Amino acid sequence: MIIAKFMIIPLVLLVALAALLASNPSVTGFFETLKDKFFSISEIDLHDKNIEFSAVFDSYEKTDFDAASPLNITVVGVTNATLANGNINTKQTLVIKDYRGVGTVSDKFVLNGSFDQLIVQDVFIGKDKIFIESDFSVLEIENLHFRLINMSGAAGTLNLANSSTHFAGSIEITELSGTFVFKKEPKSLSITGTAKKISIPDMGIDIK
C-alpha cells in the first residue's frame, strides 16, 4: 500500500506540472520551437500538391527527352544546325522557340524535331524542321517534363521554401516539370520547377 502511494504522488505532480506548462504561452512557444528543430525535411507532406523546389547537382548523367509539349531552348557554344532549307554553323547564342521532338544531353547536345521560331543574333527563322549537334558550354531547356528521374551517386544541394539541404547518394524525383540548365565547365545541372515527390533514401528524405 505504501508503494502504491509513492507511485501515485509523482504521477499527480506530473499531471499538474503539464497543465501548468501548457497554460503558459511562453513555455508553449518554447516547446513549439523545439518541435520545429527536431522535425526534419523528411517529414514534409504537402498532400499531393506540387512541391516547388530548386536543385543544383555537381554533375549529370546522359539525359534523353521526348518533348510533346513545346520547349524553349537556349544554346551557348558551337552549334551546327541542319534545317529543311539550309544549314547554320554558329558560335553565337542560338534560341529555339516552341520546339517539339527528341533530344539528348551528354558531352554534346543533339536535337531532332521541329520548331516555331529560331533566333541567332538578329536573324529570325520561322517554322521548320531541325537537326542540331552542339558542343555547348551552357544549355537551358524550359518546360521540360519527366515522369521519373532517378540518379545514383548524385551530389548537390536541394532547396525548398525555407530550407537548404546538401545531399549525396541516389535521388528520385517524380512528375518533374521545370527549367534545366546544363553547364559544361565546371560540369553541373540546375533544376528549378515542381514535382510530386522527392526522395533521397540514403538521407531518409521523403517529400511528397
pLDDT single digits (tens) 111-123: 999 999 999 988 8
Average pLDDT of the segment spanning 20-29: 47
The overall average pLDDT reported for the chain is: 82
For residue 18, pLDDT over 60 is answered with: no
For residue 156, pLDDT over 90 is answered with: yes
pLDDT level of residue 46 (50, 70, 90 thresholds): very low
8 Å CB contact between 116 and 70: yes
Average pLDDT of the segment spanning 57-62: 92
- Report the b/e string of 171-187 with b at 16+ CB within 10 A: bbbbebebbbbbbbeee
Select from 54, 31, 13, 51 the least CA-distant residue to 190: 54
HSE-up (13 A, CA, CB side) for residue 133: 2
* pLDDT tens sequence across 124-133: 999 999 999 9
Q: How confident is the model at residue 197, as a pLDDT?
A: 96
Q: How confident is the model at residue 44, as a pLDDT?
A: 38
For residue 56, pLDDT over 60 is answered with: yes
63-83 and 86-90 strand pairing: antiparallel
Q: How confident is the model at residue 23, as a pLDDT?
A: 53
